[in-house]
Protein backbone atom coordinates (compact mmCIF):
# COMPACT_ATOMS: atom_id res chain seq x y z
CA UNK A 1 0.00 0.00 0.00
CA UNK A 2 1.45 3.36 -0.97
CA UNK A 3 1.12 6.46 1.18
CA UNK A 4 -1.80 7.90 -0.79
CA UNK A 5 -3.89 4.73 -0.56
CA UNK A 6 -3.16 4.51 3.16
CA UNK A 7 -4.51 8.05 3.73
CA UNK A 8 -7.61 7.31 1.68
CA UNK A 9 -8.29 4.23 3.81
CA UNK A 10 -7.84 6.33 6.95
CA UNK A 11 -10.19 9.00 5.65
CA UNK A 12 -12.86 6.48 4.76
CA UNK A 13 -12.42 4.78 8.13
CA UNK A 14 -12.95 8.08 9.89
CA UNK A 15 -16.14 8.71 7.95
CA UNK A 16 -17.44 5.25 8.78
CA UNK A 17 -16.61 5.72 12.47
CA UNK A 18 -18.38 9.10 12.49
CA UNK A 19 -21.43 7.53 10.84
CA UNK A 20 -21.70 4.79 13.43
CA UNK A 21 -20.84 6.95 16.44
CA UNK A 22 -23.80 6.82 18.82
CA UNK A 23 -26.02 9.90 18.73
CA UNK A 24 -25.81 11.08 22.32
CA UNK A 25 -28.11 13.92 23.36
CA UNK A 26 -25.99 16.78 24.63
CA UNK A 27 -26.50 18.18 28.11
CA UNK A 28 -28.77 15.39 29.28
CA UNK A 29 -28.85 14.62 32.97
CA UNK A 30 -30.47 12.24 35.41
CA UNK A 31 -32.89 13.63 37.96
CA UNK A 32 -34.80 11.98 40.77
CA UNK A 33 -38.30 13.23 41.42
CA UNK A 34 -40.52 12.71 44.45
CA UNK A 35 -44.17 13.22 45.30
CA UNK A 36 -44.91 16.95 45.77
CA UNK A 37 -47.75 18.50 47.77
CA UNK A 38 -49.32 21.22 45.64
CA UNK A 39 -50.26 24.55 47.24
CA UNK A 40 -53.40 26.63 46.78
CA UNK A 41 -52.85 30.40 46.63
CA UNK A 42 -55.14 33.39 46.47
CA UNK A 43 -55.09 35.60 43.37
CA UNK A 44 -56.71 38.39 45.44
CA UNK A 45 -53.89 39.08 47.88
CA UNK A 46 -54.73 36.63 50.64
CA UNK A 47 -51.56 34.61 50.10
CA UNK A 48 -51.21 30.93 50.85
CA UNK A 49 -54.57 29.23 51.37
CA UNK A 50 -53.62 25.63 52.09
CA UNK A 51 -52.44 22.39 50.64
CA UNK A 52 -54.00 20.82 47.57
CA UNK A 53 -53.48 17.25 46.35
CA UNK A 54 -50.19 15.43 46.04
CA UNK A 55 -48.68 15.28 42.56
CA UNK A 56 -46.95 11.91 42.50
CA UNK A 57 -43.51 11.14 41.12
CA UNK A 58 -45.18 8.63 38.78
CA UNK A 59 -47.42 11.40 37.37
CA UNK A 60 -44.41 13.66 36.85
CA UNK A 61 -42.32 11.12 34.94
CA UNK A 62 -45.35 9.94 32.89
CA UNK A 63 -45.01 13.40 31.26
CA UNK A 64 -48.61 13.73 30.09
CA UNK A 65 -50.93 16.69 30.60
CA UNK A 66 -53.06 16.22 33.72
CA UNK A 67 -56.44 17.82 34.41
CA UNK A 68 -57.32 17.92 38.09
CA UNK A 69 -60.04 19.24 40.37
CA UNK A 70 -58.78 21.87 42.82
CA UNK A 71 -59.30 20.30 46.23
CA UNK A 72 -58.15 23.05 48.59
CA UNK A 73 -61.73 24.35 48.67
CA UNK A 74 -65.05 22.95 47.44
CA UNK A 75 -65.93 25.68 44.90
CA UNK A 76 -65.48 23.32 41.94
CA UNK A 77 -62.36 24.83 40.34
CA UNK A 78 -60.23 22.76 37.97
CA UNK A 79 -56.69 23.22 36.79
CA UNK A 80 -54.36 21.72 34.21
CA UNK A 81 -50.76 20.64 34.67
CA UNK A 82 -49.16 20.97 31.24
CA UNK A 83 -46.06 19.17 30.00
CA UNK A 84 -44.28 22.55 30.12
CA UNK A 85 -45.01 22.62 33.87
CA UNK A 86 -43.79 19.04 34.24
CA UNK A 87 -40.54 20.12 32.56
CA UNK A 88 -40.18 22.97 35.06
CA UNK A 89 -40.65 20.45 37.88
CA UNK A 90 -38.10 18.09 36.31
CA UNK A 91 -35.66 21.04 36.15
CA UNK A 92 -36.21 21.59 39.92
CA UNK A 93 -38.06 24.88 39.38
CA UNK A 94 -41.37 26.07 40.80
CA UNK A 95 -44.32 25.51 38.47
CA UNK A 96 -47.50 27.54 38.73
CA UNK A 97 -50.90 27.69 37.06
CA UNK A 98 -54.32 29.27 37.52
CA UNK A 99 -57.53 27.36 38.14
CA UNK A 100 -60.82 27.88 36.36
CA UNK A 101 -63.19 30.53 37.74
CA UNK A 102 -65.91 29.62 40.23
CA UNK A 103 -67.94 32.02 42.41
CA UNK A 104 -66.21 34.92 40.62
CA UNK A 105 -62.72 33.98 41.69
CA UNK A 106 -59.98 31.56 40.90
CA UNK A 107 -56.81 30.34 42.52
CA UNK A 108 -53.16 29.85 41.76
CA UNK A 109 -51.67 26.39 42.22
CA UNK A 110 -47.95 26.35 42.98
CA UNK A 111 -45.80 23.24 42.76
CA UNK A 112 -42.55 23.86 44.62
CA UNK A 113 -39.45 21.77 45.10
CA UNK A 114 -39.53 22.71 48.79
CA UNK A 115 -42.78 20.72 49.12
CA UNK A 116 -41.23 17.46 47.92
CA UNK A 117 -41.91 14.47 50.15
CA UNK A 118 -38.41 13.04 50.45
CA UNK A 119 -39.82 9.95 52.20
CA UNK A 120 -41.81 9.05 49.07
CA UNK A 121 -40.33 6.66 46.55
CA UNK A 122 -38.14 8.65 44.18
CA UNK A 123 -38.09 7.93 40.45
CA UNK A 124 -34.95 8.69 38.44
CA UNK A 125 -35.17 9.59 34.75
CA UNK A 126 -32.96 11.13 32.11
CA UNK A 127 -33.98 14.54 30.82
CA UNK A 128 -32.59 16.92 28.23
CA UNK A 129 -31.57 20.51 28.91
CA UNK A 130 -35.19 21.63 28.46
CA UNK A 131 -36.53 19.23 31.08
CA UNK A 132 -38.05 16.86 28.52
CA UNK A 133 -37.66 13.16 29.38
CA UNK A 134 -35.38 11.21 27.05
CA UNK A 135 -37.24 8.06 26.15
CA UNK A 136 -34.98 5.12 25.22
CA UNK A 137 -35.64 3.74 21.75
ZN1 LIG B 1 -62.22 28.92 45.38
Q: What is the pLDDT of residues 39-66, one digit of tens each?
A: 999 999 999 999 999 999 999 999 999 9
Size (the chain), residues: 137
Contact between 53 and 81 (Cβ < 8 Å)? no
The rounded Å distance from CA 33 to ligand 1 centre is 29
67 vs 59: CA distance, rounded Å: 11
Distance in Å, CA 20 to ligand 1 centroid: 57
Chain segment 93-109, per-residue pLDDT in tens: 999 999 999 999 999 99
In the chain, where are the structural domains located?
A: 29-127
* Alpha helix stretches (DSSP H) within the chain: 3-20, 57-62, 83-90
Instruction: Work out whether the CA dihedral 114, 53, 133, 124 comes out positive or negative.
Output: positive
26 near 129, Cβ under 8 Å?
yes
**Cα–ligand 1 centroid distance for 111 (angstroms):** 18
Separation of 115 CA from ligand 1 center, angstroms?
21
Tell me the CA–centroid distance for residue 73 and ligand 1, in Å.
6
Amino acid sequence: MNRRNFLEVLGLGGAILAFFRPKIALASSYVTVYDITMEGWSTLGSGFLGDDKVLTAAQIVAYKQIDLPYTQDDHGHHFTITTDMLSQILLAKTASTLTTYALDHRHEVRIKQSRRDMSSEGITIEIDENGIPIVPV
